[in-house]
Structure 1
């Protein structure tokens, strides 16, 4: 069994080592929780009104959408397109295009990445092998921080055995209830 002093030292040192990553993950996690309400990775730079002539019998394929984007001066990689309720929507990496198919009127919205915020968002999306291994080590370190924090106080009314286990159980039950009922 690890001594309270060794637990305290390990807890402190891992906490110091990972403080930057903990704050970055927490910050970008909060931003990702609210990504349906705003685009934390990009912001609008320019909105430009356009008018195009799309013949009624045109089959709007991905290739057609990509070529239309090039005619409109967009040289981004196309992500997707869709036609719904007589509206054509084309999403590119840095631009979104919306065109009313009845009138031909629409707009191009151009985005750039939000400095710092877009980089922290990458922490949650990165799938490279080195990052996955580093994140696994980080996860194990967070478990170690939690365990050492629980066992380093051995005397008094606020020990894990007297009070801490109840809070830990409550902290576990809340996300389980959310997973089950929400």
Structure 2
């Protein structure tokens, strides 16, 4: 096989096809994570009532440990906050919101969205082997982009027409970065 820009471009694209599709789809869903969380969905919800009144000053690590045991939440606390009279506790797979004045609240249990959750996880994982593989993937994407510039000849070549599209493709995200963020 001859080593040409077309062959390199094609073979890298074939090899990384699954990852390109996975990153594309999960990236689109991550763009809309304020509307819908692509990594997980609410599996169950339970209304709760505190056995005794609680003030914001009473909420600390010891209280949350007892709360977690009392409501049988078998999960690790990630963070908590008291906003006015509302206690919010975030666990790895649960979220709790309780109105401290009324004692009424809700526990939500979450599960990972099948397939999409795993694809989305690829964007945020810190596994060393995955990071190395992703770095190689990034270099492959650069290679696909660069070799793509040399595939066409004539009126459709990079030199004749492609550079204009490439400049527009670079300017568009820069406008968003500089003016809209």
Fold-level similarity (TM above 0.5) = yes
Counterparts of 1:80-99 in structure 2, within 5 Å, are: 80-99=79-98
Partner SS for 1:140: helix
Which consecutive residues of structure 1, in runs of 5 or more, have no partner in the other structure?
Answer: none
* Deviation readout 1:68-117 (Å, 9 max, x if unpaired): 02111101000111100201111111111111111101111111111111
Distance 1:158 1:57 in 2: 67
Equivalent residue, structure 2, for 1:161: 159
Counterparts of 1:140-155 in structure 2, within 5 Å, are: 140-154=139-153
Give 1:176 shift: 0.8
Give 1:51 shift: 0.6
Which consecutive residues of structure 2, in runs of 5 or more, have no partner in the other structure?
Answer: none
**Aligned-residue RMSD, C-alpha:** 1.5
Equivalent residue, structure 2, for 1:64: 63
* Deviation readout 1:39-67 (Å, 9 max, x if unpaired): 21111111111110233375211332232
How many residues align? The count is 178
User: Structure 1 residue runs of 4+, over 4 Å off?
Assistant: none
Partner SS for 2:44: strand
| Structure-1-length-normalised TM-score | 0.93
Distance 1:106 1:78 in 2: 17
- Given the superposition, is the C-alpha separation of residues 57 and 12 from structure 1 closer, same or farther in structure 2, using an over 3 Å criterion? closer
Q: Is the 8 A contact 1:62 1:81 kept in 2?
A: no
Equivalent residue, structure 2, for 1:110: 109
Q: Is the 8 A contact 1:97 1:106 kept in 2?
A: yes
